Chain A
Amino acid sequence: KNEVEQSPQNLTAQEGEFITINCSYSVGISALHWLQQHPGGGIVSLFMLSSGKKKHGRLIATINIQEKHSSLHITASHPRDSAVYICAVGSDKLIFGTGTRLQVFP
């Protein structure tokens, strides 16, 4: 069993839909990261959180430390949100999930 599990692996949505991506982890952490990766490889950091909830534009990230679970929500999804979303945990080094590939169609 991987230390960081994401679901679903693949997700398709129509523009405007509300998206939820889940992440569960089995190790003790100091912080959890949500990252976005577009084709071509570059990774962009979306959120780093250790408790509660953070919001940036249409993106919301929550974490439940007791349940070792985090969710990334995208409200009013748009085709430009199409990317791979990766959950990662750790402090000195990151342990990554395998990512969720999101495709949003017009």
Chain B
Amino acid sequence: DTGVSQDPRHKITKRGQNVTFRCDPISEHNRLYWYRQTLGQGPEFLTYFQNEAQLEKSRLLSDRFSAERPKGSFSTLEIQRTEQGDSAMYLCASSYSTANYGYTFGSGTRLTVV
């Protein structure tokens, strides 16, 4: 297993376009998390899954954002009608659901909306 993979690494899009990011977690991990990080700030929680069930969504996640994990393996995060304020690093992490196991983070997808 090569860790948590995110694709693409970088995405530049025009305002108003839709974008989709993919995260492949460590295969044994049943939890998958999405975080967003803007410049100079710590990451902020967006949503997380246990297997295929989306257990929690942050109030930060507007209706333009949707995340799926259809078979409990990889996950996608889609942003519709992108805005300049969506420009950020989108980080994915995975873990076991048992308490007090660590997280493994992906390298992130850097989104720039122009």
A11 nearest CB across to chain B (Å): 15
Q: What residue of chain A has the Cβ atom nearest to residue B45's Cβ? A: A93
A54 nearest CB across to chain B (Å): 12
Interface-located stretch among B64-72, B78-86, B96-104: B96-104
Given A33-B103, A41-B89, A42-B105, A93:B56 Cβ within 8 A: yes
Contact B105 A98 (CB under 8 A): no
Q: How large is the interface on A (under 10, 10 to 19, 20 to 34, 35 or more residues)?
A: 20 to 34
Q: Per a CB cutoff under 8 Å, which of A41, A93, A99 touches B33?
A: A93
- Is A94 an interface position by the 8 A CB rule? yes
A48 nearest CB across to chain B (Å): 5
Given A42-B108, A45-B104, A91:B45 Cβ within 8 A: no
Docked CA distance A64–B110 (Å): 36
Q: Per a CB cutoff under 8 Å, which of A4, A41, A44, A91 touches B99?
A: A91
- Is A72 an interface position by the 8 A CB rule? no
A101 nearest CB across to chain B (Å): 9
- Is A83 an interface position by the 8 A CB rule? no
Which residues of A have CB within 8 Å of B104?
45
Digit string of B29-64 for contact with A (CB within 8 Å is 1, else 0)? 000010101001111110010000001100000000
**Residues of A with Cβ closer than 8 Å to B?**
4, 30-31, 33, 35, 40-45, 48, 50, 86, 88, 91-99
**Residues of B with Cβ closer than 8 Å to A?**
33, 35, 37, 40-45, 48, 55-56, 89, 91, 93, 99-108, 110
